[in-house]
Amino acid sequence: MIPLTGVPERRRATAGRARLANVSPMTKWEYSTVPLLVHATKQILDNWGEDGWELVQVVPGPNPEQLVAYLKRPKQ
């Protein structure tokens, strides 16, 4: 945030409105969890990436040969 001390009162109001005018709407996201097989991880992630999904995190799955990917993309 830009400090407005020392700025005349009239200009403070204008500066505040200008900052608000430049605020873009907040992006809304949708999320998905995807099981990953260790031997096909790249192929699975590439397929989801082609559909616009972005990888957020990979965590261990229910067994040692499986991982779980958390993905997100902007809501359409």
**Residue 28, CB-side half-sphere exposure with 13 Å CA sphere:** 2
- HEC string of the chain equals CCCCCCCCHHHHHHHHHHHHHCCCCCCCEEEEEEEEEHHHHHHHHHHHHHCCCEEEEEEECCCCCEEEEEEEEECC
Name the pTM for this structure.
0.64
Q: Which residues of the chain have pLDDT under 70?
A: 1-21
How high does pLDDT run on average in the chain?
A: 82
Q: What is the pLDDT of residue 15?
A: 54
pLDDT at 62: 87
Query: pLDDT at position 70, please?
Result: 98
Q: Could you read off the pLDDT of 31-50 as tens digits, one per residue?
A: 999 999 888 999 999 999 99
Residue 53 belongs to domain with CATH number: 3.30.70
Range of the structural domain that residue 59 is part of: 26-74
pLDDT value for 66: 86
CB–CB of 67/59 below 8 Å? yes
Q: How many domains does the chain have?
A: 1
Is 11 within a domain? no
